[in-house]
Amino acid sequence: MKILFVNKAYFPHLGGMETVVRQLATGMLKRGHEVKVLCFGDRVAKGKTEVIDGVEVRRVRPIGHIGSAPVGFRFLTEFLRLSKWADVINLHSPNPMGEAALLLFSNKSSKKIICTYQGDAQRPKFLLPAYDLMLRRFFRRCGVVAVSSPPLSENSRVLKAAFIKEKTHVIPLGVRTKDYENHQASDLKEARSLLAPLPSRSFKVMYAGRMVYYKGIEVLLEALSRLRVQKYQISAFLIGSGPLENDIKAFIAENALKSDVLILPHQTEGVYRALFSMAGCFVLPSTHRTEAYGIVLAEAMASGLPLVSTELETGTSWLNRHGETGIVVPPGDPDALARAIARLADNEEERRRMAAASRARARNFFEEETMLEAYGEMFNEGALC
């Protein structure tokens, strides 16, 4: 079977959607399917297709952005060409150019069209009514709409229509849990070396993800500042980069947090996974519903970490069960976040209980192989457009 994956970006660009598309592309390739990816990106070689882990990746250089969404008319022509090759098209949404391409070129298509809907767009607000209307037309062309969690299916402003509900399937995103349970000695050594600048006896908080507006990193830093005033020995390491990185570094300097907060760039996969084992808890302090799932929470759960996350009425509070696998707090509330971190730092027994529950929940519900099996069946049996 020939499968075309369509997304805004692809590895080595890092992000939740990119991680999932890479998992699906490599997973389907190992199952014997032919796989290609169409996306935007700056790594564009004229007339050539890049091959990553056996997956053919066609990147189109964007000419601009609407909100965070890249746009470029060449994306449409590449979609037309590649869609003729494919038996199955899996579009990851929101992605305005991908949806527009399907609406323009799939009218008489007999392809299997499957949408993986990652979450409602939030910006720019003045364009949302028009975009939501386009999405509803787009969903009529799709045989299946896959979503990552029940809360997304229930609370999405776009998925409310009855005809969409009828074709919606919940398939949780997952990780290879065993990769987060055992680590190479060299990866552990490198992880310890990276964290050496932090106070050795401190309770360590971990964050990993892009440094963008909806992640709430400034709320985490505010919480850490309050904990420092309260004489808690708590430090944090933040893994990632993004447009707000300089602002975050400035906040750290202005609030005298430099000795307690460490920013690390993206690491190799082995070292990245080993860093989870160095933390006392994992915090995802997101402030906007753009955070529709948080696959990094599944990574932390597979690593056996208690979680602190925020109530956004999205998948984050479905992954992290309050009082069981961690603590859920209101978004944008540094005091509540500080109390949650302090509670975990102060209560080793509760921390261990939540850590065990996290690991068990990851194994039972967020295993990558389970996700791949569900998508494989859907690709083989998906309804025709």
DSSP assignment of 161-181 equals SHHHHTTEEE----B-GGGGT
Specify burial of residue 297 (Cβ count, 10 A radius: 0-12, 13-18, 19+).
buried
Provide the pLDDT for residue 105: 85
Q: What value does the mean pLDDT take over residues 201-224?
A: 97
Confidence of residue 167 (pLDDT cuts 50, 70, 90): very high
Q: Are residues 103 and 73 in the same domain?
A: yes
| 335 vs 62: CA distance, rounded Å | 41
Q: Are residues 93 and 119 in the same domain?
A: yes
Q: Are residues 79 and 113 in the same domain?
A: yes
Q: Are residues 241 and 338 in the same domain?
A: yes
Residues of the domain holding 109: 2-174+367-381
Contact 54, 29 (CB under 8 A): yes
Q: Are residues 344 and 376 in the same domain?
A: no
Q: Are residues 208 and 268 in the same domain?
A: yes
Confidence of residue 222 (pLDDT cuts 50, 70, 90): very high
Q: Are residues 125 and 81 in the same domain?
A: yes
Q: Are residues 219 and 323 in the same domain?
A: yes
Q: Are residues 201 and 167 in the same domain?
A: no
Q: What value does the mean pLDDT take over residues 93-101?
A: 96
Number of compact structural domains in the chain? 2
CATH code for the domain in which residue 241 is found: 3.40.50.2000
Confidence of residue 66 (pLDDT cuts 50, 70, 90): confident
Q: Is the pLDDT of residue 385 over 60?
A: no
Contact 101, 111 (CB under 8 A): no
Specify burial of residue 60 (Cβ count, 10 A radius: 0-12, 13-18, 19+).
buried
Q: Are residues 6 and 60 in the same domain?
A: yes
Q: Are residues 25 and 155 in the same domain?
A: yes
Confidence of residue 45 (pLDDT cuts 50, 70, 90): low
| 263 vs 254: CA distance, rounded Å | 15
Q: Give the pairing type, strands 64-66 and 69-71.
A: antiparallel
Q: What value does the mean pLDDT take over residues 270-275?
A: 98
Q: Are residues 7 and 62 in the same domain?
A: yes
